[in-house]
Amino acid sequence: MEDTPIVALDLARTLKVAEAAARAAGTYLLQKLGFARVASQKALNDDLLDADLEVEHLLLTHLRKETPDLGILSEEQVSQEAGKHYWIVDPLDGSANFQRGSPLFAIAIALVFNQVPQASIVYLPTQNEMFTAIQNQGAFLNGKRIHVSSTSTIDQAIIHVGDFSKGNNTQQVYDRLGDVLQLITRVRRVRMIGTAAMDLAYLACGRADGLINYANDPWDIEAGKLLLVEAGGQVSTRRYANRTMAVYSNGIIHQDIEKLLSPSSSA
């Protein structure tokens, strides 16, 4: 028990390193917004921008300098440099938005100790909003505690949806579209904004009530997932024959969303 304050202090200090790195990266991205070039194509409809690589270099250089004992798992490098203690970095979540000059993009960083996310940030540069969370200490927006919404019925819910059209598996895309159709008939609004990190940050502070998402790479979800859990939300994973879907919510309407999206539900 005597070590707990020291651990908490170390997490808080280390998280400040991520915040500083994200703010510096955000300043760069605001200057580059709408002017990024395609460096290569990672997959169908998934371009790698010069800004992805440049901002990743900026972030990783900062993190390596300030926390040399921590490894890094980053989206564009896709390599973990150390074992149990490392950063997970998404340098630019929402690249397609960013390329077109849209303000809907985010920087996401999670800190993992012993394979468990312990702290995270999601930074929205165009709004100057810094979301932070430390395990068992709550979630915050620009230093003020945040909570999920109190929406209690699915017919009043605003539900975000992850990009269901990525990839070249036509049947999988049709199945995902079926999930969206199920939602449209029952909820108040469905939104797709094109960045999972922002989706989860918005859910954590009550700007949305639920999210269904098909991305499962750690850089896409780990930072925002910790935010949501620390803000009082709930997470579950549903596996079907042709797809895996994560369900995120304010917790109150979680079972209703799952029931609505069950295979037995009629279209």
Provide the pLDDT for residue 4. Answer: 38
Low-confidence ranges of the chain (pLDDT < 70): 1-9, 39-47, 76-83, 165-168, 263-267
267 part of a folded domain = no
Residue entry with tokens 């269904």? 212
Provide the pLDDT for residue 215. Answer: 80
Task: State whether 84 and 189 are in the same domain.
Answer: no
Task: State whether 13 and 35 are in the same domain.
Answer: yes
Domains contained in the chain, number: 2
Task: State whether 101 and 188 are in the same domain.
Answer: no
Task: State whether 135 and 10 are in the same domain.
Answer: yes
239 part of a folded domain = yes
User: What is the secondary structure of 56-103 as a DSSP string?
Assistant: HHHHHHHHHHH-TTSEEEETTT----SSSEEEEEEEEE-HHHHHTT-S
Pairing assessment for the beta strands 106-113 and 85-93 based on DSSP bridges: antiparallel
- Domain boundary (111, 145, 179) is at 145
97 to each of 1, 84, 100, 248, how far by Cα in Å? Answer: 46, 33, 5, 23
Task: State whether 245 and 131 are in the same domain.
Answer: no
Give phi and psi for 99, each to the nearest 5.
-60, -35
Task: State whether 77 and 162 are in the same domain.
Answer: no
126 part of a folded domain = yes
Structural domain boundaries enclosing 119: 4-145
Provide the pLDDT for residue 129. Answer: 98
- Domain boundary (145, 180, 209) is at 145
Give me the residues paired with residue 213 across strands: 246
Task: State whether 113 and 221 are in the same domain.
Answer: no
54 part of a folded domain = yes
Task: State whether 139 and 168 are in the same domain.
Answer: no
- Residue 30 belongs to a domain with what CATH number? 3.30.540.10
**Span 153-182, pLDDT tens digits:** 999 999 999 887 666 677 777 787 888 888
C-beta of residue 84 within 8 angstroms of C-beta of residue 96:
no
| 155 CB burial (10 A radius; 0-12, 13-18, 19+) | exposed
Three-state secondary structure call for residue 41:
strand
Provide the pLDDT for residue 158. Answer: 97
- Domain boundary (145, 165, 189) is at 145
- Residue 225 belongs to a domain with what CATH number? 3.40.190.80
Task: State whether 133 and 8 are in the same domain.
Answer: yes
Provide the pLDDT for residue 267. Answer: 33
Provide the pLDDT for residue 247. Answer: 96
Provide the pLDDT for residue 14. Answer: 94
Task: State whether 240 and 112 are in the same domain.
Answer: no
CA angle 127, 72, 113 (to 5 degrees): 95
Residue entry with tokens 């991205």? 29
Task: State whether 133 and 176 are in the same domain.
Answer: no
Sign of the CA dihedral 172, 173, 178, 183?
Answer: positive
Q: What is the per-residue burial (b if ≥16 Cβ within 10 Å, else e) of 11-23? A: beebbebbeebbe
Task: State whether 95 and 207 are in the same domain.
Answer: no
Distance CA 28, CA 235 (A): 33
